[in-house]
Amino acid sequence: MLRYDEAREIVTQQASLRPHALTTCKLGVGEVLGYVLAEEIRADREYPPFDRSTRDGFAVRASEAAAGAKLPCVGEIKAGDSVTLPLAAGSCVQIMTGAAVPPGADAVVMIEFTSRDGDAVEFQRATLPGQNVVPRGSEAHAGDAVLRPGLRLGYAELAIAAQVGATQLLCACKPRVAILSTGDEVVPFSETPGPFHIRNSNSISLAAQVRIAGGEPVLLGNAMDRSDELGAKIEQGLREDVLVLSGGVSMGKYDLVESVLQAMGAEFFFDAVAIRPGRPTVFARCRDTFVFGLPGNPVSTMVTFHLFVVPALDLLSGAPARPLPLLEATLAEPMKEKPGLTHFLPARVEWRGESAGVRPLSWQGSGYIAALSGANCFLVFPADRQDIAAGEKVSVLPRMDVL
Ligand code: AMP
Ligand code: MG
């Protein structure tokens, strides 16, 4: 059986052979959080546009401001002031952080290292040329690339775009992800289930995971465990870039996802991964749509989405597949698991100072909902271990939405 990292590798290989050319759209800078940039953004002018002071203090000629030297202060410059007049030899000018250093001056002395008596400023330390001044154009020259295609746009990238005046950005359209749950027992979450039915919570969590991963969810509801109905709904899902199914991939008589996909001509890349939960995960391509058949147990659905669907959505958006951001944490209590499969267990990581400690939340016994509230990560219990003692280091996979 495939290890989870091998399965991820297969997903990234397949998804990099994108079946469609990337489609793009122009969007306002205020709307592009989480999109992937599809063009290069360049600096519209020199950055900084003038020699900028990084401190509150006095602009000087460094050679005139040795330790013990005194200079008359001839004025002040605030951030935003137009500065054209050169600094007269043998003088200094008071300057604020972010203000333009006047021509002739080559250093700024922090106010903390000066003393003032009327107009005379005395310097207490040696002054070096260039100190506390960011020269014009040293951050970027006009025309330099400041954002490159393939970059996912976070708040810092939005700030850079805004700074260089890129108010409209060409972005990759978000991949559209059809979400289809399966199961005769599943009813819409807005309905009251019968005594032997359950509400469809997977569709809502999957839609949220799709959004967080940068996709556009398309909700197809639920298909009963019947080949004809499943086939018709899958057919609808094949209009989108990706189809994610929940349930119906195990060995039961009514687990029909694989046989229906097979009959529709799907090419299967894997249908089992050595993980728990999530072992019967299916990854296939049917026509031009990537299909993920995730097991229906809600924790399995969440874990397998994170492990396998997220990298596919990255690549289909024109971004590189993001690596799994595994953190190291100290296990708070001893654990035992059956070896052979890598376990991903709902857990809570907490920090004391800089060191992270992690505690698994029991979910097999107490039902998944109680355990998942409060889980901010999945503890990775390696396949080749059976016991892990309290105090040992383990890896944890942070949840993308709360950590
Ligand atoms: P399956 O993978 O189809 O065997 O489903 C396994 C279990 O997951 C089912 O017995 C349900 O308890 C649960 N389940 C399946 N589909 C959903 C869903 N859409 N929402 C919540 N739980 C589900
Ligand atoms: Mg089922």
Question: Considering Cα of 77, then 79, then 80, then 84, what sign does the dihedral take?
Answer: positive
Report yes or no on whether pTM surpasses 0.85: yes
Q: What is the mean pLDDT of residues 125-143?
A: 98
Distance CA 118, CA 168 (A): 51
pLDDT class for 277, splitting at 50, 70, 90? very high
Ligand 1 atom, smallest distance to 248 CA: 3
Distance CA 116, CA 110 (A): 12
Select from 182, 186, 191, 254 the residue to mutate for testing ligand 1; criterion: most ligand atoms less than 8 Å from CB: 186
**Token code pair at residue 39:** 């063009």
CA of 348 to the centre of ligand 2 (A): 29
88 vs 60, 73, 85, 303, CA distance in Å?
10, 10, 9, 67
Residue 57 has phi, psi (to 5 degrees) of 175, -140
pLDDT class for 365, splitting at 50, 70, 90? low
Q: Do residues 183 and 252 lie in contact, with contact meaning Cβ atoms separated by under 8 Å?
A: no
The answer to whether the CB of 293 is under 6 A from ligand 1 is no
Q: Whose CA is nearest to atom 8 of ligand 1?
A: 297
Distance CA 175, CA 154 (A): 18
Distance CA 43, CA 46 (A): 7
Per-residue H/E/C for the chain: CECHHHHHHHHHHHHHCCCCCCCEEEEEHHHCCCCEECCCEECCCCECCCCEECCCEEEECHHHCCCCCEEEEEEEECCCCCCCCCCCCCCEEEECCCCECCCCCCEEEEHHHEEEECCEEEECCCCCCCCCEECCCCCECCCCEEECCCCECCHHHHHHHHHCCCCEEEEECCCEEEEEEECCCEECCCCCCCCCCEECCHHHHHHHHHHHCCCEEEEEEEECCCHHHHHHHHHHHCCCCEEEEECCCCCCCCCCHHHHHHHCCCEEEECCECEECCCCCEEEEECCEEEEEECCCHHHHHHHHHHHHHHHHHHHCCCCCCCCCCEEEEECCCEECCCCCEEEEEEEEEEECCEEEEEECCCCCCCHHHHHCCCCEEEEECCCCCEECCCCEEEEEECCCCC
pLDDT class for 371, splitting at 50, 70, 90? confident
pLDDT higher than threshold 80 for residue 39 = yes
Distance CA 389, CA 285 (A): 42
**Token code pair at residue 379:** 């503890």
Q: Do residues 274 and 2 lie in contact, with contact meaning Cβ atoms separated by under 8 Å?
A: yes
Q: What is the mean pLDDT of residues 298-304?
A: 95
The answer to whether the CB of 247 is under 6 A from ligand 1 is yes
pLDDT above 90 covers a percentage of the chain that reads: 96
104: left (phi over 0), alpha (psi -120 to 50) or beta: left
Ligand 1 atom, smallest distance to 249 CA: 2
The answer to whether the CB of 295 is under 6 A from ligand 1 is yes
Predicted local confidence at residue 20, as pLDDT:
86
The answer to whether the CB of 201 is under 6 A from ligand 1 is yes
Average per-residue pLDDT for the chain: 96
Q: What is the mean pLDDT of residues 2-23?
A: 95
Q: What is the mean pLDDT of residues 97-103?
A: 98
Q: Pick the closest to residue 204 from 216, 182, 219, 194 (CA basis).
A: 219
Question: Considering Cα of 204, then 211, then 298, then 373, what sign does the dihedral take?
Answer: negative
Predicted local confidence at residue 373, as pLDDT:
82
Amino acid at site 110: M
Q: What is the mean pLDDT of residues 90-114?
A: 98
pLDDT higher than threshold 80 for residue 362 = no
Predicted local confidence at residue 239, as pLDDT:
98
Q: What is the mean pLDDT of residues 230-257?
A: 97
**Token code pair at residue 323:** 């690596």
pLDDT class for 367, splitting at 50, 70, 90? low
pLDDT higher than threshold 90 for residue 19 = no
Predicted local confidence at residue 364, as pLDDT:
65
The answer to whether the CB of 246 is under 6 A from ligand 1 is yes
